[in-house]
Amino acid sequence: GAVPQAKPLSPGEVLGCTAPSVPNLDAFVFVADGRFHMEAMMMANPNATAFRYDPYVKEMVREEYDHTGMRQSRRHAVEEARGRLERGGTAVALFGTLGRQGNPRLVKHVVERIEEESSRARVVLMAELRPDRLKALGADVYVQVACPRLSIDWGDEVGDAPLLTPYEVEVARGHVNAWWGESPRAYPMDYYAKDAGPWGSSSAVKGGRLNAF
C-alpha cells in the first residue's frame, strides 16, 4: 500500500520534516533520486527496512540511517539546553523567513516556553540559518522555527550552544515525554502534520488573532 496520508499533505506525500509513523511497518520502498525526504520516513519508522528506487537510473538500493547517532546527538542537545535554561541562560528564538517555513504563532509559543522560568528570549528573524550567523548572536540556547532538519542535520555545527526544534523545547521544558527512557519511541517527524502537538506548524495556525511579540 501507499504511505498513509499525513494531512494536510497529499496521500503518499512525504517532506523532509513530515512523515507518518506507520505501526508494524517491516519495510518500505521510497521512489526518489535523493535521500533527504526519505530520511524523514526512516526517522519516523526506525525499525523498518528502507529501500530507495531511483526512477532515473532504474535501480533499487537499501538505505541506512544512523538512528543511534541522531538520537544521542539530539538528546544531548535537549539535556544541555534544559540545564542552561534552568540556570537562566540567554536564549534566541529564530524565526525563519524563507518561504512558509516560519510561523509567527509558533515562534510566540516557543518564546512562552523559554520564558516559563528565569530565562528570557529574544526573537531574531533570519532568511538563511547558518552556523556562523548563529554563533555571532552569542546565545546560550537557540530554538529555530524554520525546518527541524536544520537542527537534526547540522545542529552540532553551531558550537557548544544547542540548537533545538520547537518539539525539543517542549521536551526540555518537561511538557512532552522524551523519545528516550524506559519506553523509547520514534523521533516524531510531524512538523506540518495537523495532528502534531503544540510544536507543529499546522497546530500553531489554530486560534485567534496573533498579538505582537
pLDDT higher than 80, residue 24:
yes
At residue 92, the 3 state secondary structure works out as: strand
Distance from the Cα of residue 98 to its chain's centroid: 16
pLDDT higher than 70, residue 207:
no
Q: Please state, as a whole number, how many other Cβ atoms lie within 10 Å of the Cβ of residue 55.
A: 9
Confidence of residue 11 (pLDDT cuts 50, 70, 90): confident
Determine the CATH number of domain 1-65: 3.40.50.11850
Confidence of residue 212 (pLDDT cuts 50, 70, 90): very low
Contact 44, 189 (CB under 8 A): yes
Higher pLDDT, 50 or 208: 50
CATH topology for the 67-205 domain: Rossmann fold (3.40.50)
Which tens digit of pLDDT belongs to each residue from 61-113? 999 999 999 999 999 999 999 999 999 999 999 999 988 788 999 999 999 99
pLDDT of residue 90: 94
pTM of the model: 0.91
| Rounded-to-integer distance, Cα 199 and Cα 139, Å | 21
**CATH 3.40.50.11860 domain range(s) in the chain:** 67-205
pLDDT higher than 50, residue 209:
no
pLDDT of residue 210: 42
Rounded to the nearest 10 degrees, how much is the dihedral formed by the CA atoms of 191, 193, 195, 196? Answer: 0
| Rounded-to-integer distance, Cα 82 and Cα 69, Å | 20
**CATH 3.40.50.11850 domain range(s) in the chain:** 1-65
